[in-house]
Amino acid sequence: MDGEEFLAQRFEQHRPQLRAVAYRMLGSFSEADDAVQEAWLRLSRSDAAEIDNLAAWLTTVVGRVALNMLRSRRTHPEEPLEAHVPDPVLSPPGGTDPEQEALLADAVGLALLVVLDTLDPAERLAFVLHDMFAVPFDDIAPIVGRNAAAARQLASRARRRVQGAGTTPDPDLGRQREAVDAFLAAARGGDFDGLLAVLDPDVVLRADYGAAGGSRLVRGAHAVASGAVLYNKLAPVAQFALVNGAAGVVTVVDGKLASVLGFLVRDGRIVEMNIMADPERLADLDVTYLDK
């Protein structure tokens, strides 16, 4: 085995964690894969013998690349959507595979990723690297161009935003599913009162149909229930799935994935719903388990 092949093998050992870092930073599988690939290119051009801790080196490289990508989004924004839903991680009800487990460690639900999208890029990087991957602030500081104390403050501000948003679901997946099943049953039957009973009064719904279809942001149980009654056309083809490790459903129409719906359930009621129905991004999702 030559040196490059050995280095490639070492890199592949770290790929799952690097992809997890990039996914938390970017909320996009395609961009995360681009960031990981850039880390490999930089490694292949470096003197690996001079790298004392390859995992730490690669993690900070991916963080730096992702930070630049986030800043580029701010500098060259596309036509803004009213509501953007990050790429979801789909799993069958029975559980996840090892790569998905790496992506979803620390309960990285869609609701959390939505909040992370609202952070300043430097805040997001400091929070993700320190709070989720235990990267020391001394290592984060040069990435964001600040000293360690300032990097700590960035993470602290981000942490307050995340904690204030209440993105943690009920720990009991069975209880989550009961709420989702009640929602689907009410939607199928056009039961407006049944929908109100399972929705939190301040529920928030985001629906992202992509650049061509636009998006919607709906607040309040009555407004969400009014729209959900129309969901009865898709409810019969809805299948339960884990969406970022929490209760959710996917809808399949004519053999194609039509939408992914992630729920945030707390105290037995739905407090947030995130619908991703962007055809281009849906086409890239792994739904092979649906055929099993």
| Residues 6+ away with beta carbon under 8 Å from 142 | none
Which of 1-5, 110-114, 148-152 reaches the highest mean pLDDT?
148-152
The larger pLDDT score, comparing residue 211 to residue 266, is at 266
Query: Does residue 194 surpass a pLDDT of 80?
Result: yes
Range with the poorest average pLDDT among 10-14, 53-57, 267-271, 285-289: 285-289
What value, to the nearest 5°, has the Cα angle with vertex 69 and ends 64 and 75? Answer: 125
As annotated, the residues of the chain forming the CATH 3.10.450.50 domain(s) are 173-291
Instruction: Write down the CATH number for the domain with range 3-76+90-165.
Output: 1.20.140.160
pLDDT of amino acid 17: 93
As annotated, the residues of the chain forming the CATH 1.20.140.160 domain(s) are 3-76+90-165
pLDDT of amino acid 73: 85
pLDDT category at 40 given cuts 50, 70, 90 is: very high
Instruction: Write down the CATH number for the domain with range 173-291.
Output: 3.10.450.50
pLDDT of amino acid 254: 82
**Residue 165: Cβ-neighbour burial (10 angstroms; 0-12, 13-18, 19+):** middle
Using left for φ > 0, alpha for ψ between -120 and 50, and beta otherwise, residue 145 falls in: left
pLDDT of amino acid 92: 74
Query: Does residue 108 surpass a pLDDT of 90?
Result: no
Q: What is the mean pLDDT of residues 136-147?
A: 96
pLDDT of amino acid 228: 81
